[in-house]
């Protein structure tokens, strides 16, 4: 009996139903987007008069291909026959015939280890090929055989499907959540994310090898860590911490979509800092199907010489002369996946950092490093575990370089690095503290054992606490941007003898990365301190002094020094303060309804004793502003007066979402707020 050939009139990719069952319906219905390891179905409409399909009388093969050079050896080209049922461990297909409608419903299951990307689907009937269509294949957190499988549904919704989040900034004593639109399902974003992979130098040099490696979320995450910054390639974002001319200030961004579209149109975008790099990495990871969260580490160490110690070296004028630093906060991402290269005990959250700090294998990237390896001090486990371990668990040593060349250690801490490590809680906008996932409690036996293991031959000889000079910094209750306020430091002599001390108190503008800027206050005294006595030195911080030198981070670093040169007795303490910023009042005028205009009234009180110029409000929201920010300029606003704007937008989809608002001006910028919005379905005729 001869073989029966299918005469296909057209192929229906059944996009709406497939996308819905594969949790990709938020991408829209323009294209088929499925997750690997899970079946999808297509409907083959046969030409009128076609012979009835029977499996045992038909011989045809499906072919799926991805990448510019599909090869069977690379698993970028796979052929598979029609069987009685699909198999969930490999590419397979089965079919159900519907003679009454002259259709054949084909169920296709992809391998849970397939490379992600855009695929073509063809049917081969003994050499006669028919192109059936294209589909995009993503990682699958819902598939137990996928390397990114996450068993908890609430976490899958948060770390794969949620399009908005909170990024934590400030200081560890004044933590502030900043809203962000990830927007991974916005129009065009998935194509841009795949374009990022194709711009990767590894793809350019060996496309076949790179496309094959895209089966592995470890590989993809490391590529993204390099490609989100533009240091070694045509990556997405240019990092800048000082001069923002010729670009957008990093604090002005409120979502990933605008940045990604700009990059796709014209290359690297100016400018970003750590939270922007991390937010972009989260957007791209979630778009590709890798569960991802944004993480903030307060008091984050940058260990330049890889000895796991932050060495603060000062001269005898109290000026810092070393390169190690501690950032007030630093932001990166954790991605969820298995680690077959390390062993099952290292599965789970993996840290990667797209902010360009130090090169790794000659490229500015970092991670992914297992949280388990970081917590246990397993610094031989790839990738870049020692650097991340130091960020959360380095010891700090303060040393003085005397004029005679001698270097003495005068203080140190084993507890000041890696505080209040934070991420957005699952299912709410609350902060979730995950410090315990990165490290044992500071000072605990386990934490010290881990640190000593990590140190290997670089162990420090810790010495016990001794009597000496002790300093504390006390703050005012209200430290509002635009106001004058007073801070003071207290010196206590814990010696049994009198000390005659030079007493210095500095205030400097400082960036979140710990880079000290210009002075905004200084006080000094020479004091004789009796045993057990306290002496106080106050410092008035005036807006006239700090207003022109602080950055948009609104941070001021206070540093107090006391030293008795006769006895070579030194003490130092530091505290970084973040000034309170004004709130944006957001009022929606009426209900938000699909395809109906709605107005947001925005108000902000200028807290400064001077006029604000070039004031503007910008709004953005998933399903609210068509994937693009809307900016309204409001001109000048006098001191203690209100900036007001009314912004109209038309929601494009129903459901719960978030409207983000940013205020900008010449003297007061990057003030952010948000409001939750529930969009109703429009009336149907």
Instruction: Name the burial class of residue 144, with classes exposed (0-12), middle (13-18) and buried (19+) by CB atoms within 10 angstroms of its CB.
Output: exposed
Bridge pairing between strands 164-171 and 655-664: unpaired
What's the CA gap between 518 and 253, in Å, rounded?
Answer: 26
- Confirm or deny that 447 is annotated as ligand binding: yes
3-state secondary structure 23-75: CCHHHCCCCCEEECCCEEEEEEEECCCCCCCCHHHCCCEEEEEECCCCCHHHC
Please name which of 299, 296, 308, 373 lies closest in space to residue 334, comparing C-alpha atoms. 296
Active-site positions read 274, 330, 353
Q: What 3-state class would DSSP assign to 256? A: helix
Bridge partners of 406? Answer: none
How far does Cα 636 stand from its chain's mean position? 34
Neighbouring C-beta atoms of residue 204, cutoff 10 Å? 12
**Token pair recorded at residue 498:** 């009198």
Q: Measure the CA–CA gap between 117 and 78, rounded to whole angstroms.
A: 14
Helix H or strand E encompassing 560: strand 555-564
> Is 395 annotated to bind ligand?
yes
Distances (CA, A) of 435 to 429, 439, 626: 18, 6, 37
Asked if residues 43 and 11 have their Cβ atoms less than 8 Å apart, the reply is yes
E-assigned strand segments in 110-163: 117-125, 128-138
State yes or no: 442 annotated in a binding site: yes
- Contact (Cβ atoms closer than 8 angstroms) between residue 517 and residue 509: yes
Positions at the binding site for Ca(2+): 393, 395, 442, 447
Positions at the binding site: 393, 395, 442, 447
């Amino acid at each position: 009996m001869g073989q029966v050939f299918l005469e296909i009139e057209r192929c229906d990719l059944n996009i709406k139903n497939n996308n819905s069952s594969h949790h990709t319906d938020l991408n829209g219905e323009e294209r088929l987007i499925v997750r690997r390891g899970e079946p999808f179905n297509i409907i083959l409409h046969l030409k009128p008069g076609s012979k009835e399909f029977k499996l045992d009388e038909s011989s045809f093969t499906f072919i799926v291909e991805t990448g510019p050079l599909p090869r069977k050896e690379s698993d970028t080209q796979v052929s598979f026959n029609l069987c009685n049922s699909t198999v969930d461990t490999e590419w397979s297909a089965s079919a159900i015939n519907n003679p009454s409608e002259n259709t054949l419903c084909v169920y296709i299951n992809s391998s849970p280890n397939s490379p992600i990307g855009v695929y073509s689907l063809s049917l081969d009937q003994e050499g006669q090929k028919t192109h059936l269509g294209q589909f995009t294949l993503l990682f699958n957190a819902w598939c137990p055989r996928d390397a990114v499988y996450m068993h908890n549904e609430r976490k899958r919704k948060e770390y794969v499907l949620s399009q908005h989040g909170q990024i934590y900034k400030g200081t560890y004593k004044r933590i502030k959540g900043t809203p962000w639109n990830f927007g991974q399902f916005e129009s065009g974003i998935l194509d841009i994310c795949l374009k990022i992979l194709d711009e990767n130098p590894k793809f350019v040099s060996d496309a076949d090898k790179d496309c094959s490696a895209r089966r592995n979320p470890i590989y993809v995450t490391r590529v993204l860590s390099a490609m989100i910054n533009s240091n070694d390639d045509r990556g997405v974002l240019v990092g800048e911490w000082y001069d923002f001319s010729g670009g957008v200030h990093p604090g002005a961004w409120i979502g990933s979509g605008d940045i990604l579209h700009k990059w796709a149109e014209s290359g690297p975008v100016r400018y970003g800092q750590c939270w922007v790099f991390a937010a972009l990495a989260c957007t791209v990871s979630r778009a590709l199907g890798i569960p991802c969260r944004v993480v903030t580490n307060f008091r984050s160490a940058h260990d330049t010489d890889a000895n796991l110690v932050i060495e603060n070296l000062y001269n005898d004028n109290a000026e810092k002369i070393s390169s190690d630093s501690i950032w007030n906060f630093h932001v990166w991402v954790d991605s969820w996946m298995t680690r077959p290269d390390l062993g099952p005990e290292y599965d789970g959250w993996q840290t990667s950092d797209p902010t360009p700090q130090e090169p790794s294998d000659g490229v500015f990237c970092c991670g992914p490093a297992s949280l388990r390896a970081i917590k246990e001090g397993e610094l031989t486990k790839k990738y870049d575990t020692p650097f991340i371990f130091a960020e959360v668990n380095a010891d700090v040593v303060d040393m003085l370089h005397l004029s005679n060349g001698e270097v003495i250690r005068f203080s140190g801490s084993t507890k000041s690095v890696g505080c209040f490590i934070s991420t957005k809680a699952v299912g709410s906008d609350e902060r979730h503290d995950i410090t315990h996932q990165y490290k044992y409690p500071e000072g605990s036996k386990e934490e010290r054992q881990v640190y000593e293991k990590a140190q290997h031959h670089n162990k420090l000889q810790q010495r016990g606490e001794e009597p000496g000079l002790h300093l504390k910094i006390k703050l005012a209750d209200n430290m509002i941007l635009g106001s004058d306020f007073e801070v003071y430091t207290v010196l206590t002599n814990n010696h049994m003898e009198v000390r005659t001390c030079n007493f210095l108190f500095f205030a400097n503008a400082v960036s979140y990365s710990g880079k000290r800027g210009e002075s905004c206050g200084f006080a000094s005294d020479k004091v004789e301190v009796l045993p057990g006595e306290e002496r106080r030195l106050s410092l008035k911080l005036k807006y006239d002094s700090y207003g022109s030198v602080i950055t948009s981070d609104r941070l001021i670093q206070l540093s107090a020094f006391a030293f008795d040169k006769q006895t070579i007795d030194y003490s130092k303490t530091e505290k970084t303060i973040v000034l309170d910023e004004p709130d944006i009042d957001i009022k929606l005028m009426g209900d938000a309804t699909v395809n109906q205009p709605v107005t947001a009234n925005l108000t902000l009180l200028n807290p400064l004793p001077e006029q604000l110029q070039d004031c503007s409000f910008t709004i953005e929201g998933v399903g609210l502003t068509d994937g693009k920010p809307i900016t309204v300029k409001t001109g000048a606003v006098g001191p203690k007066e209100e900036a007001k704007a009314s912004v109209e937008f038309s929601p494009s989809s129903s459901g719960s979402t978030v409207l983000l608002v940013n205020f900008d001006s010449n003297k007061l910028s990057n003030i952010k707020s948000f409001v939750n919005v529930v969009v109703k379905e429009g009336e149907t005729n």
